[in-house]
Amino acid sequence: MSQITIAIHGGAGTIEKSMLSPELEKSYLDGLRYALEQGYTILNQGGDAMSAVEMAVIALEDNPLFNAGKGAVFTHQGKHELDASIMNGNTLEAGAVAGVSNIKNPISLAKAILHHSGHVMLASEGAKAFAIQQGIEIVPDDYFYSTYRYEQWQEIKNTSTYQLDHQAKQEHQYSESEKKMGTVGAVALDSFGNLAAATSTGGMTNKKYGRIGDTPVIGSGTYANNKTCAVSCTGHGEYFLRAVVAYDVSCLMEYQQLSLQEACDKVVHKKLLPMGGEGGLIAVDTMGNFSLCFNSPGMYRGVKNNMGINEVAIYGQ
């Protein structure tokens, strides 16, 4: 079999060992391993990269530890607004959904948009109506409830601030300058040599005005091109939008002939960081090379291939 590779992330930010109990750390690592295995099994059985990244992301969306799907954070109105996107590196087809509620697995809706809508991005109630038409699973509001997420929201709901995920507890109010990111994603190379990328998020705690970040924006939070690489991002979305991060990695490979790691390092450390953009990304190229690149203290991440690599991690080096 040709080389197959899958990488996943579950968010980045100020994630330090002192913040997690041994039990919680194990839960995160177990969740990453499960998602990684879900995607890898599809690749190992000869499945395609699109199916692999969707399945890995579904596993993360279904895990309340991660800020996507069931683990989505509360908005200022006490609701859940979900974003997701997926891209096929072979055809450059993409599907994205923004600001939807009651969708159990937004990544599956994004894939349905790619295949069946004739469009790339659908939003809010229109996207939900399309989901119902396509038979995408709809769940009640309380499916997304967790005490942990509710308490996060209660601490700041009467303020003008928002909170990104993976935030250390502070004695003071959270400020907009504290950048902690919660998103999930997967990238894969299948045995046919095709790439795919998928990303999903619940956004920011206490977000207002229907705010949308980089996750559903093709080229910013998600990108895949068989000429170069597949990329899924996690970070402070406004910076990733302005820097067009995912596409920029691909561009550096295509037009400057940088390696995957060189391109990722340049964007994450030399472009994003001076702007104030904290976070990271996962990427894989057509040769099976991979990068788990971040400029924050930690990033929930994992990678597995058929060359003997199988690892998950949380903290920085």
Q: Is 41 helix (H, G, I), strand (E, B) or coil?
A: helix
Q: Is 265 helix (H, G, I), strand (E, B) or coil?
A: helix
Which residues, other chains included, contact 201 with Cβ-Cβ below 8 Å and sequence gap of 6+? 67, 68, 72, 82, 83, 84, 182, 183, 184, 213, 215
Q: Is 183 a catalytic residue?
A: yes
Provide the H-helix boundaries in 106-191.
Answer: 106-116, 124-134, 147-156
- The secondary structure of 240-259 as a DSSP string is HHHHTHHHHHHHHHHHH---
75, 183, 205, 228: the catalytic one is 183
Closest CA to 157 of 149, 145, 166, 167: 149
The number of residues in the chain equals: 317
Q: Which amino acid is at 204?
A: M
Return the biggest CA–CA distance within the chain. Answer: 56
The residues annotated with a catalytic role in the active site are 183
